[in-house]
Amino acid sequence: MVEPSFAALVKQQPLVLKYHNGSLLKGQISVNLVWYGHFTPVQRSIIVDFIHSLTSPAAHLPSAASWWRTTENYKGDAGSSALVVGKQIIIDNDSLGKSLKNLDIVALASKAGSLNGLNSINVVLTATDVAVDGFCMSRCGTHGSSRGKNRFAYAWVGNSETQCPGQCAWPFHQPIYGPQTPPLVAPNGDVGVDGMVINLATVLAGTVTNPFNNGYFQGPPTAPLEAVSACTGIFGSGAYSGYPGRVLVDKTTGASYNAYGVNGRKYLLPAMWDPRTRNADYGYVWIEVWDRQVWSGFKSVFLARIVGGSQGRPWA
């Protein structure tokens, strides 16, 4: 006999990321990249174009820039966080070995210089054959800040293609656990790097809104839910466990995406919590939606203004 459940009678409380009165990263922020291990020029260009896309007004809508503008809603009208690509350091000789500790990540991040805590983020990107403490076990990337007089914000993301694509490159690979829905086609043709873009988007949003662990987050400071990590697994409307939601599909390549970038790029970006609506949404964007029920080749195109929140239908 199945016992009745009263869970449905309990009204779910809205997700709220509390502001803890600390500094946020606002204004022009240099994103300095440290490439550790072997990355091809094409792989590096996908990442660099993504960062450029976050502040470029030139891309078609929905754009990576319109997604990023949600960060402007953190701490009221305090302004935008304009990311620009700064220094790039390539370390392809694995000088610290192929198994890195957390202290190694901080040491690598410090090589990028610009140790100005409020005006830069030093990002370490590790290649497919580089192991990092906690990678594929409890995290796909992370961010933090150094200690001491020259405090700076840093982040790390690893390429999971050969280590754990089902965990850190989902939805471009079959998930390790849960419903086994078919994987999506990566928009830039690289499962590992397109997965890195998702995780880089996550840690960059977390860094500008909670750089020193006293910004916006929910839960314990040691394991906080932040701007994007609070909305894990949501890429479009109708998302649920194992299903990323409805997204746009390139009619030529079959690749899935929900944001345009510079240089003709397309990206799949995760939902971000908006303090204005208190929901995981995509801010205000204009989108073109293809009628999936019309298979004869005719298309139904309409413009929809996304107002955010649970009523928003970004990619319906």
pLDDT value for 298: 26
pLDDT top residue among 14 and 31: 31
pLDDT at 70: 94
Judge contact between 217 and 296, C-beta under 8 A: no
Is the model more confident about 5 or about 138? 138
Cβ neighbour number for residue 293 with a 10 Å cutoff: 6
Residue 108 has what pLDDT?
97
Give dist(CA 174, CA 183) in Å, integer: 5
pLDDT in tens, 185-201: 999 999 999 999 999 99
pLDDT at residue 312, rounded to an integer: 28
User: pLDDT by residue (tens digit) across 32-88?
Assistant: 999 999 999 999 999 999 999 999 987 789 999 999 999 999 985 568 999 999 999
Question: What integer pLDDT is reported at residue 291 of this predicted model?
Answer: 30
Q: What pLDDT score was predicted for residue 305?
A: 25
pLDDT digits (tens, 9 = 90+) for 219-251: 999 899 999 999 999 999 999 989 999 999 999
Residue type (1 letter), 195: G
pLDDT tens track for 265-280: 999 999 999 998 888 8
Measured N-to-C along each axis, helices 191-209 and 41-53 cross at an angle, to the nearest 10 degrees, of 40
Give residue-wise pLDDT tens across range 148-186: 777 889 999 999 999 999 999 999 999 988 888 899 999
Give pLDDT, residue 114. Answer: 63
Q: Which of 12-26, 216-230, 300-314 has the lowest mean pLDDT?
A: 300-314
Q: Residue 51 is encoded by which pair of tokens?
A: 């960062």
The pLDDT > 90 percentage for the chain reads 70
Contact 273, 15 (CB under 8 A): yes
pLDDT at 147: 79
Using the Cα atoms of residue 203, residue 209, residue 214 and residue 219 in order, give the sign of their dihedral: negative
**What is the pLDDT at residue 180?**
86
| Least-confidence region, from 37-51, 79-93, 106-120, 250-264 | 106-120
Tell me the CA distances in angstroms from 289 to 114, 274, 314, one per residue in order: 43, 23, 9
Distance of alpha carbon 128 from alpha carbon 305, whole angstroms: 39
- For the chain, report the end-to-end CA distance as a whole number of angstroms: 39
Q: Nearest to residue 266, comparing CAs of 190, 159, 206, 208?
A: 190
Task: Give percent above pLDDT 70 in the chain.
Answer: 82
Position 13 scores a pLDDT of: 61
